């Protein structure tokens, strides 16, 4: 596991993010303040960690995102803080099980035949690439959900919505990879389902800084909060 930031390679370094002025101006004009959710009640809050599987994270897998390895300490720190405060941690994994049936357009038109074959084999649930990245601090009290599509908050993609209901969760902290695809779509759809949502700026990873920043900017403009794990820890109340 990478502990100190200095042990990370250049490609693994998380992107620094600060909210640009045009976003803060727009949020302040719309809301009258900059933070939508200044207090988060830990017992009704879940950290939802998206796709931190070997397929998307491990250096041994060609499709992986190098920066995803760099956000592991931030995810582990947030998970431990939330557990200590009484909240839940949910690990969401993309599965190939039922993917062709549930999402045929994506596999037929967005991927080549060889890419589809490789993806489905890698994300089969008996594949090592399907497993969570080993440096993640997963506890026995944590919860798990599988998803087929980018968003884990669509009913025919994942059991996450029903799990959140069973756990009496109303607030979500979104982490994982990649920022601008599975993390962003899950966060947006959660917002549309009336959850309070915060995207964690230092616990999301993308392939390009511009994509990471654009996703966080747009989310903050229209859907919820963007904050660092440190800032969110200050908002938690038990």
Q: Picking from 47-56, 112-121, 225-234, which range would have the lowest pLDDT averaged per residue?
A: 112-121
Confidence (pLDDT) at 84: 97
Name residue 173's beta-bridge partners. Answer: 47, 198
| 86 Cβ contact partners less than 8 Å away, ≥ 6 residues apart | 42, 43, 238
Secondary structure of residue 196 in the 3-state scheme: strand
* 74-129 tens-digit pLDDT: 999 999 999 999 999 999 999 989 877 888 888 888 889 998 888 888 899 999 99
Confidence (pLDDT) at 5: 43
Confidence (pLDDT) at 1: 44
Query: pTM score > 0.85 for this model?
Result: yes
Which range of 6-10, 111-115, 187-191 scores highest in mean pLDDT? It is 187-191
Calculate the CA 229 to chain-centre distance.
13
Confidence (pLDDT) at 141: 98
Confidence (pLDDT) at 102: 81
């Amino acid at each position: 596991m990478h502990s100190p930031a200095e042990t990370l390679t250049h490609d693994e370094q998380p992107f620094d993010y600060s909210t640009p002025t045009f976003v803060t101006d727009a949020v302040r004009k719309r809301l009258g303040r900059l933070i939508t959710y200044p207090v988060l009640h830990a017992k009704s809050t879940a950290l939802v960690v998206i796709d931190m599987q070997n397929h998307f994270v491990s250096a041994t897998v060609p499709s992986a995102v190098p920066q995803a390895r760099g956000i592991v300490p931030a995810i582990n720190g947030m998970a431990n803080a939330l557990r200590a405060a009484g909240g839940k941690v949910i690990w969401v994994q993309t599965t190939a099980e039922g993917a062709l049936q549930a999402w045929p357009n994506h596999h037929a038109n967005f991927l080549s035949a060889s890419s589809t074959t490789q993806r489905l084999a890698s994300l089969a649930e008996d594949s090592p690439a399907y497993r969570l990245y080993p440096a993640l601090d997963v506890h026995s009290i944590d919860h798990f959900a599988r998803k087929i599509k980018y968003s884990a908050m669509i009913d025919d993609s994942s059991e996450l919505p029903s799990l959140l209901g069973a756990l009496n969760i109303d607030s979500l902290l979104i982490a994982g990879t990649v920022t601008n695809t599975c993390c962003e779509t899950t966060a947006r759809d959660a917002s549309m389902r009336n959850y309070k949502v915060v995207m964690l700026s230092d616990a999301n990873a993308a392939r390009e800084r511009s994509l990471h920043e654009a996703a966080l900017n747009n989310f903050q403009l229209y859907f919820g909060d963007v904050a660092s794990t440190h800032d969110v820890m200050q908002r938690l109340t038990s």
